[in-house]
Structure 1
Amino acid sequence: MSSALVLSGLFLYPVKSLGGFALTDAEVTPRGLRHDRRWLIVDERNRFMTQRQHADMALLQVAPAYNGFLLSHRQRPELLPLFIPFEATPERTLFVTIWDDVVWAWRGTPEADAWISEALGRPCCLVYMSDMVRREVEPELNPEGQLLSFADGYPFLLIGESALAELNSRLPSPVPMNRFRPNLVFGGGAAYDDDSWDSIRIGELPFRVVRGCGRCVLTTIDQQTAIKNSNGEPLRTLATYRKADGNALFGQNVTGPGYGHLRVGDSLHVLSRK
């Protein structure tokens, strides 16, 4: 008999494609966890930057601070930690491109732009998504009109501990959960049982499991060193047994209830299956 399902981890990533940190409890908003991926780094063409093209972004460490977070560089102590508030002010705006979407955003401070440009060795801007921006989950899978932050495509990513354990049993060297950047981690149950989930409840909040998450080269980057695995692991192994429609799947893209509160230790119940 499978063990009870429980929310075992909550993770926040204030800046898209930079590191995150663990929470014991979190507010849920229409775009995901409060403050999740509301900041974005863009290049001189105002196009979004990620570790897919710039693996050294993994060296920018994010730590919680009062009403915001601190950015530091793992290998350059001379770059003093930079404080970024959770929310920007609407003093300067610009249009930015993320995937196929063009949205307007608020500029961060000139000091933040200078710090990140120095840290990454190229001209960059830090921008913030206002609550007034309307960016939606892909329409054909979004009957509820769910909103989105600067995340790739969905407000939440859910992964089971048993799935990671099963994957690691196949790998020459195990990988940590941070390679996959989940917001919600659960314990209990069989590996990949969540493939069949449709609607679930975590604590008192309803969620919809939309589809498996297709993984990219970012999973091959060590988040401590920014070194890419020359053997393509764990993506290479995932592709041997978790491939569908050309993608190696790991974790579930999830939409949420709008508003609420989650705590590590909340029970997870499967309400319906696909």
Structure 2
Amino acid sequence: MQLTHLWRYPLKSGAAEALEAVTLGEEGLTQDRRFVVVAARGKFVTARTHPQMQRLALREDASGQWRLWHLDRPELGSISFATNEQSERLDIQVWADQFSALSVSAEADAWLSEQLGMPVRLCWLGERSERYREVIGQRVSAADGFPLLLANEASLEALNRETPTADHGMDQFRPNLVISGAQAWAEDGWQEVMIGDVRFRLVSSCTRCAMVNVDPATGEKRGDREPLKTLARVRRFEDGQVHFGYNLVAVEPNRHQTLRVGDPVEVMAFK
């Protein structure tokens, strides 16, 4: 088994960034989900309600002295901004977690508000997230609940064999780590895996909603309600939810290590 894809999402619900290598810290992949869009009273906004967010590509420009970011929506323009640890702090909410984040700029807020058709603000978590999740005992980014998401190529192939169109891509499921060489759904029986020289614990399988029906290339939901419709038939667990992929935490989360495409994957413990 090996690691075949590394993806991060600098903006929560934004476009994926494919990587060949990336460092890993306590909060997940470096620069993964460090930015989040919030609406009134600081509540987070995602592609669940605004699927066009998946076409918003946020990339860091590391060529200059200052940390500069470019936010782009294809064919609709872009905006650039710098981050500052001294910016105004805002109270925000991601699911049930309430914590503070840093404002970015009035210009970025106005640009995003125009794109989404509602008043929003863009927030940055800073170099160190203020969000702490008791369930895993560590700080996390603006990800839904866990630092990392793992997916198995063979499991997607098995799902596609069950769907009427069989054309679903892994990008619809928005994982960070994609592996090959395993049997379909083998991950259901794993407790710990080693990827390269980093050991991970599989905390829980990932429950899925209609967001997997969004085509990342267009930012629109599919009219056939796939693949969630098929997932509901073949991957509904005892909790009544449908599942695809697994949430991961690093066993030693404070060690800064590097993951690379091509890293070997080995199961270290089974359930």
Is TM (by shorter chain) over 0.5? Answer: yes
In structure 2, the CA distance between the partners of 1:84 and 1:182, relative to structure 1 (3 Å rule), is farther
Aligned to 1:251: 245
In structure 2, the CA distance between the partners of 1:235 and 1:149, relative to structure 1 (3 Å rule), is same
- Residue 271 of structure 1, CA deviation: 0.4
Aligned pair count?
A: 262
Q: Could you tell me whether the CA contact under 8 Å between 1:90 and 1:107 is conserved in 2?
A: no
Q: Could you tell me whether the CA contact under 8 Å between 1:59 and 1:75 is conserved in 2?
A: no
Q: What is the alpha-carbon distance in structure 1 between the residues aligned to residue 80 and residue 140 of structure 2?
A: 25
Q: What is the alpha-carbon distance in structure 1 between the residues aligned to residue 128 and residue 249 of structure 2?
A: 19
Paired residue type of 2:107: E
- Residue 83 of structure 1, CA deviation: 2.8
Aligned to 2:180: 187
Q: Could you tell me whether the CA contact under 8 Å between 2:129 and 2:140 is conserved in 1?
A: no
Q: What is the alpha-carbon distance in structure 1 between the residues aligned to residue 111 and residue 144 of structure 2?
A: 25
CA offsets 1:7-64 (integer angstroms, 9 cap, x no match): 1110010010111110000010100001100100001321100011112212323445
Q: Could you tell me whether the CA contact under 8 Å between 2:11 and 2:34 is conserved in 1?
A: yes
Aligned to 2:153: 161
Q: Could you tell me whether the CA contact under 8 Å between 1:30 and 1:147 is conserved in 2?
A: yes
> Which stretch shifts more, 110-119 or 189-198?
110-119
User: Helix, strand or coil for the counterpart of 2:118?
Assistant: coil
User: Helix, strand or coil for the counterpart of 1:113?
Assistant: helix
Question: Which structure 2 residues correspond to residues 177-216 of structure 1 after superposition, within 5 A?
Answer: 177-216=170-209
Question: Which structure 2 residues correspond to residues 121-160 of structure 1 after superposition, within 5 A?
Answer: 121-137=117-133, 139=135, 142=136, 145-160=137-152
Paired residue type of 1:218: M
User: Helix, strand or coil for the counterpart of 1:14?
Assistant: coil
Paired residue type of 1:264: V
User: Helix, strand or coil for the counterpart of 1:169?
Assistant: helix
Question: Which structure 2 residues correspond to residues 255-274 of structure 1 after superposition, within 5 A?
Answer: 255-256=249-250, 257-258=252-253, 259-274=256-271
Question: Which structure 2 residues correspond to residues 13-32 of structure 1 after superposition, within 5 A?
Answer: 13-32=9-28
- Please list every run of 5 or more consecutive structure 2 residues that lacks an aligned counterpart in the other structure: none
User: Helix, strand or coil for the counterpart of 1:165?
Assistant: helix
- Please list every run of 5 or more consecutive structure 1 residues that lacks an aligned counterpart in the other structure: none
Q: What is the alpha-carbon distance in structure 2 between the residues aligned to residue 46 and residue 136 of structure 1?
A: 17
Equivalent position to 2:104, from 99, 105, 108 = 108
Q: What is the alpha-carbon distance in structure 1 between the residues aligned to residue 32 and residue 184 of structure 2?
A: 26
Q: What is the alpha-carbon distance in structure 2 between the residues aligned to residue 68 and residue 271 of structure 1?
A: 40
> Which stretch shifts more, 50-59 or 151-160?
50-59
Paired residue type of 1:91: S
Q: What is the alpha-carbon distance in structure 2 between the residues aligned to residue 227 and residue 133 of structure 1?
A: 31
1:225 correspondence with 2:218: yes
Q: What is the alpha-carbon distance in structure 1 between the residues aligned to residue 71 and residue 126 of structure 2?
A: 21
- Residue 171 of structure 1, CA deviation: 1.7
Q: What is the alpha-carbon distance in structure 2 between the residues aligned to residue 200 and residue 60 of structure 1?
A: 32
- Residue 119 of structure 1, CA deviation: 1.5
> What TM-score, normalized to structure 2?
0.91
> What TM-score, normalized to structure 1?
0.90
Q: What is the alpha-carbon distance in structure 1 between the residues aligned to residue 59 and residue 85 of structure 2?
A: 21
- Residue 75 of structure 1, CA deviation: 4.2
Root-mean-square deviation (Å): 1.6
- Residue 131 of structure 1, CA deviation: 4.4
Q: Could you tell me whether the CA contact under 8 Å between 2:101 and 2:126 is conserved in 1?
A: yes
Aligned to 1:90: 86
Q: What is the alpha-carbon distance in structure 1 between the residues aligned to residue 112 and residue 148 of structure 2?
A: 26
Q: What is the alpha-carbon distance in structure 2 between the residues aligned to residue 214 and residue 136 of structure 1?
A: 21
> Which stretch shifts more, 186-195 or 222-231?
222-231
Question: Which structure 2 residues correspond to residues 234-249 of structure 1 after superposition, within 5 A?
Answer: 234-244=227-237, 245-249=239-243
Aligned to 1:99: 95
Paired-residue identity, %:
36
Aligned to 2:42: 46
